[in-house]
């Protein structure tokens, strides 16, 4: 019955495409979390009244973050073509998309991290200082744990944006559900493929949102 | 114990300079509870934050236990801070940690081993009366309980000094009292020096030995709490004393009472650090054949005994009243003033 409704959809192709999308999303998400937190911390710590207050480092970091956020993702991929080829040895397939996905999303997440850190009660940071805590201790035992629910919901938002980006990357040959929808669906006018790809993407987004909300809620003891 | 010499803090804000703390000199003795009172903006918080250099002084020196805090390098300062506990108006607990984990935090910072940490945390939980709540999160505690966690945390590394910035200002009167009692208790048990910032005179009255009054970044008056209560010099101080003692508007009523009284003697008893004021009235009426009728009064308890005035009417034989007055003057520290002889 399903095959009557979607005559051009092949289950194994869809599973492979879904796998590629998840692969790209999760691998780049790990990179985004690492670079995003590092950049976010750098922004927070070098900002005014921060522990490492430094106008120049803050402004440079901030400018870089803003520039990468301003460039539309589809253009970013094209701009990064040579870099990707050098780094991954190929410009096609899921692996090739990962550097662009990370560079495109990490600045966005960095801003969310910065906002999350600003929300941490200044008094608690002060209390840690009054106990003689080192900056390292303040980062790992105060700032990150105290902002964890916001960091996690930031990850959820970023992950969902990333799923969208993987679809875009798919259009220029990175594989995954976006690629399927474009080449096999749109180009061949098999619109049932487009519909199924869309449904799967929507389901993935819902699952990410659900898991993210659940974790955020569970760790929030406020 | 603590010596502060010419301490100043100037805040610069778009070309304007604000002297939050202005050439402050102060000596605080080992083991005393030293109160600092002042209105909002007087510079109290800035002052207390200078003591552990959460705020860098613009000039001046701070010595704590002979160590010059103001000359320490940042890693030395970190070590010195472990010996200066601090509690805050809004408690500043980590919401992501349980009571136990919050109290263990300064011990983690000091690099204490896990076993020792757990033992010390348990001691502290017992000390501040939080047994049974060790695994609660701060959001599950009342304000008073949160401040108890704050106190336990501040005491974890056995500090020499405890700084309290408006530690009871977010609490109701009942809870304030229990926290103040805890501080007195700790002060006695550990011989800990406590510096207490407040804008409420009754807090000073209840637990402080000495007090400094701050206004515009300066200490305008300081001394033993009783002296300050008895003879406030500055206008600010008088206002603060009135917070607790009321003011002399009541005199009207006394005059009324005097006018209406037809027998005996009306006396004004001034209590200054007298610890047996309750017993005084009954003692006098037992020893001498007089009736004592309390007309009006306001007595307040300080760390050094009762303070305040009491208006009484004494009825009886003229000679006996005379003897009773002699007794009060000679045998007690209460000051007596005869206001009216009705007889
Ligand atoms: N970081 C800062 N930058 C600029 N001015 C400041 C800063 N901190 C405090 N001040 C100013 O210094 C003065 C003293 O402030 P402080 O907080 O010490 O007062 P306080 O006596 O503790 O008052 P409160 O009872 O309201 O807590 C105020 O005029 C305040 O505006
Ligand atoms: Mg203050």
Q: Which residues of B touch A152 (CB under 8 A)?
A: none
Q: Which domain holds residue B322?
A: 253-341
> Are B212 and B265 part of one and the same domain?
no
Q: Which residues of A touch B80 (CB under 8 A)?
A: 132
Predicted local confidence at residue A126, as pLDDT? 95
pLDDT in tens, A110-150: 999 999 999 999 999 999 999 999 999 999 999 999 999 99
- Name the pLDDT band for B249 (thresholds 50, 70, 90): low
Residue of A nearest to B90 (CA): A123
With CA atoms as reference, report the closest residue to B143 among B120, B173, B123. B173
First to last CA, chain B: 57
Provide the ipTM.
0.88
> Are B277 and B227 part of one and the same domain?
no
Q: Given ligand 1 and candidates B20, B163, B197, B203, which is best to mutate, with the most ligand atoms within 8 Å of its CB?
A: B20
Predicted local confidence at residue A218, as pLDDT? 93
> Are B161 and B277 part of one and the same domain?
no
Residue of B nearest to A147 (CA): B96
pLDDT in tens, A66-113: 999 999 998 988 888 778 878 877 777 788 889 899 999 999 999 999
Which among B77, B93, B105 has CB closest to A131?
B105
Which among A145, A146, A222 has CB closest to B139?
A222
> Are B239 and B298 part of one and the same domain?
no
Predicted local confidence at residue B277, as pLDDT? 56
> Are B306 and B174 part of one and the same domain?
no
Which residues, listed in sequence order, are joined to residue B300 by a DSSP beta bridge? Answer: B307
Tell which of B244, B261, B286 closes a domain.
B244
> Are B83 and B204 part of one and the same domain?
yes
Nearest CA to ligand 1 atom 12: B20
Q: CA-CA distance, A38 to B109, in Å (whole number)?
A: 23
| Between B48 and B275, the higher pLDDT residue | B48
> Are B126 and B222 part of one and the same domain?
yes
Q: Do B109 and A148 touch (CB under 8 A)?
A: no
Q: CA-CA distance, B21 to B53, in Å (whole number)?
A: 13
Residue ranges around ligand 1 (CB below 6 Å): B 11, 13, 18, 20, 38, 40-46, 199
Rg (CA), chain B: 24
A219 to chain B, any CB pair closer than 8 A? The answer is: yes
> Are B28 and B142 part of one and the same domain?
yes
Tell which of B244, B278, B294 closes a domain.
B244
Tell which of B244, B266, B287 closes a domain.
B244
> Are B140 and B180 part of one and the same domain?
yes
- Average pLDDT of the residues of chain A: 91
> Are B326 and B208 part of one and the same domain?
no
- CATH number for position B63: 3.40.50.300
- The pTM (predicted TM-score) of the whole model is 0.84
Could you count the other beta carbons within 10 Å of the beta carbon of residue B170? 16
Which among A130, A142, A148 has CB closest to B52?
A130
Q: Do A130 and B81 touch (CB under 8 A)?
A: yes
User: Which domains, and CATH codes, for chain A?
Assistant: 12-219 (1.10.3720.10)
How many structural domains is chain B composed of? 2
> Are B168 and B206 part of one and the same domain?
yes
Residue of A nearest to B52 (CA): A130
Q: Do B90 and A137 touch (CB under 8 A)?
A: no
The 3-state secondary structure of B283-310 reads: HHHHHCCEEEEEEEEEEEEECCEEEEEE
> Are B205 and B93 part of one and the same domain?
yes
A151 to chain B, any CB pair closer than 8 A? The answer is: no
Nearest CA to ligand 1 atom 9: B46
- CATH number for position B336: 3.30.70.260
Residues with CB under 5 A from ligand 2 (ion): B 45
- Average pLDDT of the residues of chain B: 88
Q: CA-CA distance, B91 to B139, in Å (whole number)?
A: 12
């Amino acid at each position: 019955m399903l095959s009557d409704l979607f005559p051009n959809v092949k289950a194994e192709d869809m599973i492979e495409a879904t796998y590629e999308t998840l692969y790209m999303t999760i691998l780049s998400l790990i990179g985004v979390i690492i670079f995003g937190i590092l950049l976010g911390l750098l922004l927070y710590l070098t900002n005014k009244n921060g522990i490492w207050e430094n106008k120049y480092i803050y402004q440079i970091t901030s400018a870089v973050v803003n520039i990468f956020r301003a460039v539309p993702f589809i253009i970013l991929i094209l701009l990064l073509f040579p870099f990707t080829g050098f780094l991954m040895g190929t410009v096609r397939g899921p692996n090739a998309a990962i550097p662009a996905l990370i560079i495109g999303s990490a600045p966005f997440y960095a801003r969310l991290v910065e906002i999350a850190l600003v929300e941490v009660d200044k008094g608690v940071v002060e209390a840690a200082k009054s106990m003689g805590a080192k900056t390292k201790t303040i980062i790992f035992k105060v700032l990150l744990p105290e902002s964890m629910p916001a960091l996690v919901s930031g990850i959820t938002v970023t992950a969902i944006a990333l799923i969208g980006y993987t679809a875009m990357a798919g259009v220029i040959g990175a594989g995954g559900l976006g690629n399927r929808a474009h080449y096999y669906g749109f180009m061949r006018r098999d619109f049932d493929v487009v519909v199924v790809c869309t449904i799967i993407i929507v389901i993935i987004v819902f699952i990410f949102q659900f898991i993210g909300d659940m974790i955020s809620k569970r760790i929030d003891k406020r | 114990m603590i010596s502060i010499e010419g301490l100043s803090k100037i805040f610069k804000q778009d070309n304007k300079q604000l002297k939050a703390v202005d050439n402050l000199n102060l000596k605080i003795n080992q083991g005393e509870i030293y109160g600092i009172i002042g209105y909002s903006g007087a510079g109290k918080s800035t002052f207390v934050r200078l003591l552990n250099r959460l705020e860098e002084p613009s000039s001046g020196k701070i010595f704590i236990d002979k160590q010059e805090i103001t000359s320490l390098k940042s890693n030395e300062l970190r070590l010195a801070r472990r010996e200066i506990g601090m509690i805050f108006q809004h408690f500043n607990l980590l919401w992501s940690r349980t009571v136990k984990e919050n109290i263990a935090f300064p011990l983690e910072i000091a690099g204490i081993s896990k076993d020792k940490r757990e033992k010390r945390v348990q001691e502290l939980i017992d000390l501040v009366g939080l047994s049974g709540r060790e695994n609660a999160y701060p959001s599950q505690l009342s304000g008073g309980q949160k401040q108890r966690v704050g106190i336990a945390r501040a005491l974890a590394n056995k500090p020499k000094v405890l700084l309290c910035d408006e530690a009871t200002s977010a609490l109701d009167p009942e809870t304030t009292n229990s926290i103040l009692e805890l501080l007195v208790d700790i002060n006695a048990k550990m011989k800990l020096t406590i510096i207490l910032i407040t804008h409420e005179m009754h807090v000073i009255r209840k637990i402080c030995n000495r007090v400094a009054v701050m206004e515009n970044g300066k200490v305008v008056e300081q001394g033993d709490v009783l002296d300050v209560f008895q003879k406030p010099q500055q206008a600010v101080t008088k206002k603060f004393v009135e917070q607790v003692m009321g003011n002399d508007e009541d005199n009207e009523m006394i005059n009324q009472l005097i006018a209406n009284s037809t027998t005996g003697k009306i006396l004004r008893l001034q209590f200054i650090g007298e610890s047996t004021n309750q017993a005084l009235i009954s003692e006098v009426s037992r020893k001498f054949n007089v009736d004592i009728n309390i007309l009006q009064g306001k007595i307040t308890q300080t760390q050094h005994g009762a303070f305040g005035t009491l208006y009484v009417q004494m009825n009886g034989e003229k000679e006996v009243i005379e003897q009773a007055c002699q007794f009060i003057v000679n045998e007690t520290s209460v000051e007596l003033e005869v206001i009216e002889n009705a007889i």
